[in-house]
Amino acid sequence: MSFELLLQSISKRVTLNEEEQKVFTSFFRPRKLKKKTFLYQEGDIQQHIAFINSGCLRSYSIDKNGTEHILQFAPAGWWIADMQSLLNNAPSNLSIDAIEDSEVFLIKQSDIEDMYQALPQLERYFRILAERSLATSQQRLIDALSLTAVERYNNFCQRYPSLIQSIPQKYVASYIGITPEFMSKMLSQPMKKG
């Protein structure tokens, strides 16, 4: 597996010379996941952050009624982890699995500090990543509380344009907080622009 996409992602925020790139990539372990294969299951203690090199993963929880709630999709070029589990060394409330055949690069939480020691400029990259993730999570919560299903669907289409045609509608419905049946009915109606 090539580190090209990972290095492109890093280069948007920090510059690494060739030797630094080798040091950086040495902290990552490649892993291939077949469609429907778990990276982690609810109850596991997560030890890694994953960068998606190809394919797509999702994180989700299942409530006591058996309803699935998707928190995140992570297509190629994105990161995914259950940060609560990772940072607190606690059992995960989320499952993370591949929704298509995928290749990921994993970095252990325990190696991140070593990476920062070797390459201090990477703290900036991961700080920006964390800030953007927090801002996105806050906006998603506000949207869930204040927007209609159609507006949430339109936001999904803007956020994940490459996924709208490639993943099952039931996953999109779960992400925006509606049933697949409601989603089907909603999409059969003419959408209002605005």
Residue-level pLDDT at 165: 84
For the chain, the average pLDDT equals: 92
Mean pLDDT calculated for residue range 111-135: 93
Length in residues, the chain: 194
CATH of the structural domain 4-118, one choice from 1.10.1270.20, 2.160.10.10, 2.60.120.10, 3.30.540.10: 2.60.120.10
pTM of the model: 0.90
Nearest C-alpha neighbor of 125 from the set 18, 47, 26, 24: 24
| DSSP per-residue codes, 81-147 | --HHHHHHT-B-S-EEEEEEEEEEEEEEHHHHHHHHHH-TTHHHHHHHHHHHHHHHHHHHHHHHHHS
Please report how the helices 109-118 and 122-146 are oriented relative to each other, as an axis angle in degrees rounded to 10. Answer: 130
CA atoms of 59 and 31, how far apart (whole Å): 17
Q: Is the pLDDT of residue 194 over 70?
A: no
In angstroms and rounded to an integer, the radius of gyration of the C-alpha atoms of the chain is: 18
Mean pLDDT calculated for residue range 140-161: 91
CA atoms of 91 and 84, how far apart (whole Å): 9
% residues pLDDT > 90 (the chain) = 82
Amino acid at 101: D
CA atoms of 62 and 15, how far apart (whole Å): 40
